[in-house]
Amino acid sequence: MSAAGSARSRDAATTLVRRLAACVRDAGFDPERFRFASAITLAAIGALYFAFLVNLPNTYWALLTIPLVMRQQSGATVWRSSARLIGTLSGMVVGLVIVAFFDQNVFAIVAVLSLWLFAMGVLARFEMGSDAYAYGVAGLTALIIVLDTRSDGGQAFSYAVSRSTETVIAIIAGFVVGLVLLPRSTLPLVRSSLGEARAKVFETIRLAIDRESEPSAEMQRGFTADLRTVFSNMRSASFERTSPNGSLPRMRAQANALIETLATAEAFSFALAHAERGDAVPQPVEEARRRLAKLFDDLGEGEPDAEEAEERSGRFAALRDELGETISAYAFAEEPDADKLDTVSGLYRVRQLAARLADLYAADAAVLDPKRTFKTVKPTQTRYRDLVAALEIGSRPAIAFALVATFWLFSGWANGRVLALITGALSLLVPTIAPRAALAAAGRNIATGFLTMVPVALLLMVLLPHVQTFWEFAVLIGAPIFVLFYLFAGGPQLPIAIGGTIMLAIGLQPANTPSYDAARLINTGVTLSIMPVLFVSAVTILFPNTTAHVRRHLKRGTDKLFRKAIRRRLDEPGFFGQFVDLLGDYGGDLDVDDETNRRLIGRSRGVALVVHEICGIRNSKGTIPEHADRRLGEIAEEAARAGPQADLSSLLDRVEAVGHDARRRLATTDDAGNSAAFRTVMAAELLHAMIHQRRLCLPGKTT
C-alpha cells in the first residue's frame, strides 16, 4: 500500500473512532449502567453455563430468572433472590399438592389455581418491595408446575425439582457476579435517599421559620415519597451483613429523627400561622423565632463532619433549654388568658423545633462517627396493609386467569394454556415490582421488549447453529442482553429489558442440545404479544386506579391509621412508618393541581399532626389530665368525619373544655411541673386552630 493510501486509511479509521466516541458521548455514557448491564450479562452467561453443565431440561428458566433477581445494589439482589427462592419453593409445594389432588379434573385445577392466585395477590399487597415479589413468584411457580405437567402428572415432581434447581443456579450466578465480582453496597443509596428527603424537610423548616407559607401539597408529597424510598432502601440494606459498624440502626435513628422534625416543623408552621388571636405574633415568640432563624441561617451549605454536627446539635439544644426556662416562668391560671396562651404556645412550638433539630444533628453525628452513642429505634412495620386494596388486587389475577383459562379450555387453542399461564402470572407479578401508576406503562414496555427481541432472536437462530464453543455462544447471547440492559436499565424503562430477555429465553430456548425452531419463535411472539393487551386490560378494567379509587383508599387508610393510633393500637413510630407508606403510595398518584386532592392530602397531614400531638402527651412525664389524650383524639376523629359545611362549634367547645381541665391541673401548685398537662394545653390549642380552619374536614365529595 502506498504512503498516501495508508494515510487515507489512518484518517478514515481515526474519523470512525471519533464518530463512535461522539455517538457514545451523545448517548450519555453512564458507568453505573455499564456496570449493571455487564453484571446482568455475566450472570446470564454464568447461569446458562452451569445449567448446561448439569444438563437440566428447560435451561432457559435460569436465563429468565436473572433479570428478575439481579438489582443494581447487592442488598437488593439478596432480598429479591431470597424472595424468588422462597416463592419458588412454596409455589412448588402447592403446585405438587394441586397436581396430586386435582389432576383428573381440569376445571377444578383452574378453580383452585384462581384461588391460589387470589390468595397470593392479597398477601403480596400486604408487603412491600421484594417481600411482595415472593408471593408473586409463589403464584407463578404453582401455575407453571400445574399447567405444564397437567397431561402427565407423574412428571410433576421432577419438573418442580428442575424448576427449583434452575432458580438456584440463576441465584448463585447472580450472587457470584452481583456480590463478589461487581458488588455495590446499598448504604450509599440509603444515604443519598436520606439526603434528598432531608433537603426537602429542611426546605419545609425554612418556610416555617420564615413564616412564608405552609408546605404545599406537592412538597408534602415529595418528602413523603422520599421517606418511603428511604424505608425501602433500608430494608434492602438490611440484607447486607457487612454494613460497616452497624451503620443501618444509626441511619434508622436518623430517619426517625427526620420524621419527627418534619412533624414538628409542620405543627410549628400551622400553629404560628393560625393560632394567633391578635393581629401579630407576640413579641417574645417573634424574638425566639428570629433566634431560631439565625441559628438555621448559620448552618451553611456544606455537609458537616461529626464534630460540626455535634456542635450544631449543641447550639439548638442551648436554645431549647433557654426557651424551656422562659416557658416555665409563665404560670398558668385556670381561667383562659388569650395573650398568655398565644405567647406560651408560640414559644413552645419554637422550642420543640429547636429540640428536634438538636436531636436530628445528634443523630447525624452518630451516623458520621460510629463511636458515638445513639438512641436506638426499633424497626417498625413500614407497610400500610390495606385490606380492601388487597382484595381488589388479589381478584385481578384470579379473574384474568379464570377468563383466559376458560377460553383456552372451550376453544381448544393449544397456545391458550401458555397465554392463561402468562396472563395470570404477570397480572400477579408485575404489580409487585412496578408502582401502581406505572402498571399500564409497564405492560406496554414489556410488549415493546417482546417485539424488539423477535428479530434479534430470529437472527440468533441463524447464527447459533454455526458456533462451536460455549464462549462463542456466550458472546452472541450476551451482546443483546448487554445492549438491552445498558439502554433500558433506568427506572420505568426496565420492563423493556425484562420483556426482551423473556422473549429471548422463551422464544429461543437456548439449550445444551440446540433445537431452534423459527415456527416456535413466531408462535411465542404472537402469543406473548396478546399478553400485554390482556394484562393492560386486566389492570385498567378490573378495579382501575382512577382518581376516585385512589382518593377513597387514601381517605379510608388515613381514618384507619388515625383510629388505631388514638386507641393505642399503634405507637408514634408505628403510625408514621405506615402513614409515610400510605401517603407516599396513594398521595403520590393524586394530581395536586386539583383542589379536592390538595385538601385530601392536607387532611391526611393534619391527622398526622394530631397523632404527633397526642403521642407527645402520652410520652410526657406526669399524669394525663382526665383522659385528655383520648378525648382530644375522639374530637379530632369527629372533625375528620365532618363534611365541608358541618357546624363544628360543639367540637370547638369540647376542645376548650379539655384545655381548661389541663390548665386547672397546671394551676394547682402540686402539679405545676406536669409536662403531660402542659402538652395537653398545647395540643388543645393546636387542635382548636385546626378544627377552626377545617383542616381535618373532608373536602366534600371524594369519590
Partner 1 sequence: MTQEISIFGFYFPAIVLCALVAGAIWYALDYAAIRLSAWQFFLHPPLARLALYLVLFALVCAFYPNF
Residues that bind partner 1 (CB under 8 A): 157, 161, 176, 179-180, 183, 241-242
SS3 helix, strand, coil % of the chain, rounded to 5? 80, 0, 20
Q: Please, what is the angle between helix 439-463 and helix 470-488, to 10°?
A: 150
Angle at 254 between CA 248 and CA 257, to 5 degrees: 145
Beta carbons within 8 Å of 130's beta carbon, 6+ residues apart: 76, 79, 80, 82, 83
Closest approach of partner 1 to the CB of residue 90, in Å: 16
| Of 56 and 536, CB closest to partner 1 | 56
Closest approach of partner 1 to the CB of residue 289, in Å: 47
- Single-letter residue type at 121: G
Dist CA 423 CA 428 (whole Å): 8
| Of 183 and 379, CB closest to partner 1 | 183
Closest approach of partner 1 to the CB of residue 245, in Å: 9
Closest approach of partner 1 to the CB of residue 165, in Å: 8
Closest approach of partner 1 to the CB of residue 159, in Å: 13
Closest approach of partner 1 to the CB of residue 602, in Å: 46
| Of 242 and 411, CB closest to partner 1 | 242
Dist CA 146 CA 124 (whole Å): 21
Residue 233, Cβ neighbours under 10 Å: how many? 25
State the sign of the Cα–Cα–Cα–Cα dihedral 185, 189, 192, 194: negative
| Of 157 and 470, CB closest to partner 1 | 157
User: Smallest Cα–Cα separation from 124: which of 141, 142, 137, 111?
Assistant: 137
Per the structure block, which three cell numbers stand in for 272? 404560628
Closest approach of partner 1 to the CB of residue 180, in Å: 4
Closest approach of partner 1 to the CB of residue 54, in Å: 9
User: Dihedrals φ, ψ of 281, to 5°?
Assistant: -70, 135
Element (DSSP H or E) covering residue 448: helix 439-463
Give me the helices (H) in 103-155, please: 106-125, 130-148
| Of 241 and 371, CB closest to partner 1 | 241
Closest approach of partner 1 to the CB of residue 511, in Å: 20
Place of cell 389432576: 103
| Of 179 and 542, CB closest to partner 1 | 179
Closest approach of partner 1 to the CB of residue 185, in Å: 10
| Of 182 and 476, CB closest to partner 1 | 182
| Of 80 and 184, CB closest to partner 1 | 184
Beta carbons within 8 Å of 361's beta carbon, 6+ residues apart: 304, 309, 310, 312, 313, 316
| Of 179 and 273, CB closest to partner 1 | 179
Per the structure block, which three cell numbers stand in for 7? 494515510
Per the structure block, which three cell numbers stand in for 385? 396493609
Closest approach of partner 1 to the CB of residue 372, in Å: 18
| Of 183 and 324, CB closest to partner 1 | 183
| Of 172 and 530, CB closest to partner 1 | 172
Give me the helices (H) in 275-386, please: 283-297, 306-328, 338-368
Per the structure block, which three cell numbers stand in for 305? 463532619
User: Smallest Cα–Cα separation from 99: which of 143, 161, 165, 164?
Assistant: 143
Closest approach of partner 1 to the CB of residue 447, in Å: 37
Dist CA 192 CA 195 (whole Å): 5
| Of 242 and 283, CB closest to partner 1 | 242
Distances (CA, A) of 349 to 23, 298, 354, 535, 676: 57, 20, 9, 51, 15
